[in-house]
């Protein structure tokens, strides 16, 4: 989908905490306040509101009421880790249609004990997966990683290089929970969780929230001179669902990538923010999006410097693997980091040439296949 007149005009973030039991609502509010400060917008300017969270029963109208928002458009951006990108797409649709000119999109979770922070497992997961004592997403991604390693000869060192590069990116990111260097030996010797998935393949759950402000081009020009345009975006849910012998090592990002790269060229992308619930998921998406051929992700990683200083910058703030995963804020973190980069605000981890960024989201490991939701967008800084 080609976009012409939708802009990102700002963002807001909270600190991430491994302990805080502050209410999820207060995290959303803090992220929104941060974004209002940055954009100079007032609460009454917010005409569209979306929330992405696992905290039930906080559906979007309830949260809007709590935050005192009278809005023309409200969305429960409930698409797992693709919630950020997919909410941006829906807000962009509404802005292009003229329903609103400013949308505030929030993702967040906390260890708030007053609300259930995890949904009940869906029927197919509950009745046909959990009954075997599986280890959550770690086990389902482990099945995929084993296949990638066996089918394509991908090594642990190649997968680990992604985690290590992201850690280097996190060293100067004050939001990151993990700011000590990681060596290959650290990665390889980290505790086995659901083999071949190790501890350092996994994200750290934490409390936190992220906020994105989207506006029409006309409104955007009155808000900021750092204009970042949404260029193109695509999504697919339940790729291969009718295939009872699916290729588990190919995600819906294959289709998403074909759509995205019919509008822009790979060589135009300066940095990529790839949803990183696991390093292997980053590698598979690099393949699916066409930066290299299927199965050659390991070689690709070997051949490139993935840090913010490198020739193929990936997850330049450390990604979820090093910053932490504040529940469904995970799908927003990547968009916010891309905005920091394109606005030249990534102090200490700024990519030198940052004009165009690709951001992805993936959500829900499903029965027998891989991802439920897959989405991506490209944004561009224009002077």
**Contacts with other proteins, residue ranges (CB under 8 A):** 123-124, 126-136, 138-139, 142-144, 146-147, 150, 191-197, 241-242, 244-246, 248, 367-369
The CA distance from 171 to 137, in Å, is 27
Compute the distance between CA of residue 138 and CA of residue 195 in angstroms, rounded to an integer.
Answer: 9
Q: How far is the CB of 136 from other proteins (least distance, A)?
A: 4
Give the nearer residue to other proteins in terms of CB position, either 198 or 304.
198
Residue 54 Cβ, how far from other proteins at the closest point, in Å? Answer: 15
Q: What is the DSSP pairing of strand 48-52 with strand 73-76? A: parallel
Residue 59 or 128 having the CB closest to other proteins:
128
Q: Minimum distance between the CB of residue 124 and other proteins, rounded to whole angstroms?
A: 5
Q: Closer to other proteins at the Cβ: 62 or 119? A: 119
Residue with tokens 């939708």: 6
Nearer to other proteins, 113 or 191 (CB): 191
Q: What minimum distance in Å lies between the beta carbon of 196 and other proteins?
A: 8
* Strand (E) or helix (H) holding 98: none
Task: Report the C-alpha gap between 311 and 10 in whole angstroms.
Answer: 27
**In terms of CB distance, is 26 or 139 closer to other proteins?**
139
CA 29 to chain centre: 20
Minimal distance in Å, beta carbon 252 to other proteins? 16
Burial 321-334 (b: 16+ CB within 10 A, else e): bbbbbbbbbbbbbb
Shortest distance (Å) from residue 78 CB to other proteins: 21
Q: How far is the C-alpha of 341 from the C-alpha of 345, rounded, in Å?
A: 6
Give Rg (Cα) of the chain. 19
What DSSP string runs through 123-149? HHHHHHTGGGT--THHHHHHHHHHHHH
Which CB sits closer to other proteins, 124 or 262?
124
CB of 241 to other proteins, least distance (A): 6
Q: Contact 138/197 with Cβ under 8 angstroms?
A: yes
Q: Residues 1, 233: contact at Cβ < 8 Å?
A: yes
> What DSSP assignment string belongs to 41-61?
--GGG--EEEEE-S-TT--HH
Handedness of CA 164, 160, 361, 328 (dihedral sign): negative
Residue 204 contacts residue 193 (beta carbons within 8 Å)? no
Q: Compute the least distance from the CB of residue 197 to other proteins, in Å.
A: 7
Q: Judged by CB, which is closer to other proteins: 132, or 185?
A: 132
**Nearest residue (CB) to other proteins, 135 versus 348:** 135
């Amino acid at each position: 989908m080609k976009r012409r007149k939708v802009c990102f005009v700002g963002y807001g973030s909270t600190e991430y905490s491994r302990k805080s039991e502050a209410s999820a609502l207060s995290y959303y509010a803090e992220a929104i306040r941060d974004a209002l400060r940055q954009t100079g917008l007032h609460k009454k300017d917010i005409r569209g509101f979306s929330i992405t969270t696992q905290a039930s029963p906080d559906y979007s109208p309830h949260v809007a009421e709590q935050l005192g928002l009278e809005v023309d458009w409200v969305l429960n951006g409930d698409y797992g880790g693709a919630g950020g990108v997919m909410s941006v797409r829906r807000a962009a649709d509404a802005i292009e249609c003229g329903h609103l000119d400013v949308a505030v999109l929030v993702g967040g979770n906390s260890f708030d004990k007053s609300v259930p922070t995890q949904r009940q497992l869906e029927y197919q997961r509950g009745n046909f997966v959990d009954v075997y004592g599986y280890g959550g997403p770690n086990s389902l991604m482990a099945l995929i990683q084993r296949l990638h390693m066996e089918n394509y000869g991908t090594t642990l060192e190649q997968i680990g290089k992604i985690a290590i590069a992201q850690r280097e990116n996190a060293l100067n990111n004050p939001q990151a929970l993990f700011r000590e260097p990681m060596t290959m030996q650290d990665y390889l010797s980290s505790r086995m969780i659901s083999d071949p998935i190790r501890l350092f393949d996994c994200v750290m759950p934490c409390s936190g929230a992220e906020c994105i402000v989207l506006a029409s081009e006309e409104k955007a020009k009155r808000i900021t001179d750092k204009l970042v345009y949404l260029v193109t975006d695509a999504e697919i849910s339940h790729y291969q669902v009718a295939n009872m012998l699916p290729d588990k090592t190919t995600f819906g990002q294959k289709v998403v990538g074909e759509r995205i790269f019919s509008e822009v060229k790979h060589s135009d992308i300066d940095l990529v923010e790839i949803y990183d619930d696991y390093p292997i998921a980053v590698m598979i998406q690099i393949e699916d999006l066409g930066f290299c051929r299927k199965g050659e992700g390991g070689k690709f990683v070997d051949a490139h410097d993935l840090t913010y200083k490198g020739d193929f910058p990936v997850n330049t703030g450390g990604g979820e693997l090093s910053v932490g995963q504040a529940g469904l804020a995970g799908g927003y973190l990547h968009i916010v980091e891309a905005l920091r980069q394109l606005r030249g605000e990534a102090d200490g981890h700024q990519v030198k040439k940052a004009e165009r960024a690709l951001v992805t989201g993936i959500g829900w490991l499903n029965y027998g296949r891989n991802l439920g939701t897959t989405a991506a967008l490209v944004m561009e800084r224009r002077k």
